[in-house]
Amino acid sequence: MKQINKFQVKSIKKGTIIDHIPIKMGIKLLSLFELNNSSQNIIIGLNLPSVLIGYKDLIKINNTFINQDQVNQLAVYTPDATVNYIEEYKVISKITPSLPDFVKNIIICPNDNCISRSELKFSKFRIISKNKLSKYLKCIYCEREFARHLMSIK
């Protein structure tokens, strides 16, 4: 237990900590938020032991506060993630993602014939069920509905 805390508490002076990310999602979130192109100092923890969810990923972004819209996009993948804003090594606020109305450009439409795949190279879905366990999204281009767990991330 002590070991776990030591690693996780080692903090950043100012910025964002995204915690309780399901394993294998950490890397995906980096590209989702284009953090792989960021010049900021970023610390990623993969497969860390977690009391809450068994194992988790963790991302610390120095000098950057991700905005509410980005936090909400997080909810599509990681509804149980927590986002902490840090100032002077202290948590100044904690945000739990809530599902946005629309998800833009991060999920691929499962419909092979959808114009969003062939021509637009851009996707947009409306979230039609906000139940965490059974999320359904509707493509605004082909108007088909899909269960979230059947969809892949760009």
Binding-site residues for Zn(2+), please? Answer: 109, 114, 139, 142
Of 46, 48, 43, whose CA–CA distance to 62 is shortest? 43
Nearest residue (CB) to Zn ion, 44 versus 127 = 127
Q: Is 77 near Zn ion (CB under 5 A)?
A: no
108 touching Zn ion, by CB under 5 A: no
Q: Is residue 11 near Zn ion by the rule CB under 5 A?
A: no
Q: Which is nearer to Zn ion, 82 or 116 (CB)?
A: 116
Interhelix angle for 25-32 vs 68-77, to 10°? Answer: 140
- Residue 139 amino acid letter: C
At closest approach, how far in Å is the CB of 114 from Zn ion? 3
Which lies closer to Zn ion via its Cβ, residue 101 or residue 143?
A: 143
> What six digits make up the tokens of 5?
């805390």
* Residue closest to 67 by CA, chosen among 18, 128, 12: 18
The single residue among 43, 111, 127, 129 that binds Zn ion, judged by CB under 5 A, is 111
Element (H, E) at 137: strand 136-139
For the bound state, the minimum distance from the C-beta of residue 120 to Zn ion, rounded and expressed in Å, comes to: 10
The strand order across the sheet containing 145-147 reads: 102-104, 124-129, 136-139, 145-147
| Residue 109 binds to Zn ion (criterion: CB under 5 A) | yes
Where along the sequence are the contacts to Zn ion (CB under 5 A)?
109, 111, 114, 139, 141-142
